[in-house]
Amino acid sequence: MYIAIAGNIGSGKTTLTEILTNHYGAKAYYEDLDNPYINDFYEDMNRWAFQFQVHFLASRIRQTMDMLSAGNDCVFQDRTIYEDAYIFAGNLHQMGLMASRDFGTYMKLFDISTDMIPKPDLLIYLKASVPTLVKQIRKRGRDYEQNIDIGYLERLNERYNNWIENDYKGEVYIINKDVHDFVENPEILEPLYEKLDAIYGKTLF
């Protein structure tokens, strides 16, 4: 069973990954935050957008290939390769912060890699408004995130919602983080556990 958790910056992906991994005694694959371009990117997005995204893409390809070759029958992944391309790189290109030539090169690498990677058995989307995201970003206190532009988060949210509603072809389970806080109220995850149990019962990863 391959389950992926998707969502904007500060939506709670890592927390939910930890909860689900502990519940199922499964293997977790977390987003690699050790990007050597990350501080430069937040200081000057136009200069470092391509390098920043290519590093994340390469890291995600390696992680997913390792995940597939490990032979675990139940895994949870914190953010997907699809988000790297359709949400973050696509947004930077739309904003004019990544040149069309660079974006074209990036998407060629993405297309090659996704030909080798199966879609998740279920994509869990953590949907959250910008005020909820900002609250969570401030709460976790990562220095490089504290000055994220609100407009940037809004654009990412628009892309996420469009991707989930119109473009993503796999099965999706949505948790509205504005309403449901699974840290304070763990019982809201019970319907998700039921769905995952059904998938796990008939799917061997």
Catalytic annotation present for 78: yes
* Long-range contacts of residues 66-71, Cβ cutoff 8 Å, at least 24 apart: 66/29, 67/2, 67/27, 67/29, 68/117, 68/118, 70/27
- β-pairing, 2-7 with 172-176? unpaired
Sign of the CA dihedral running 156, 60, 81, 124: negative
Which one, of 66, 67, 170, 179, lies nearest residue 122 by Cα?
170
Given 78, 84, 102, 121, the catalytic residue = 78
CB count within 10 Å of CB 130 equals: 16
Residues recognised as catalytic: 78
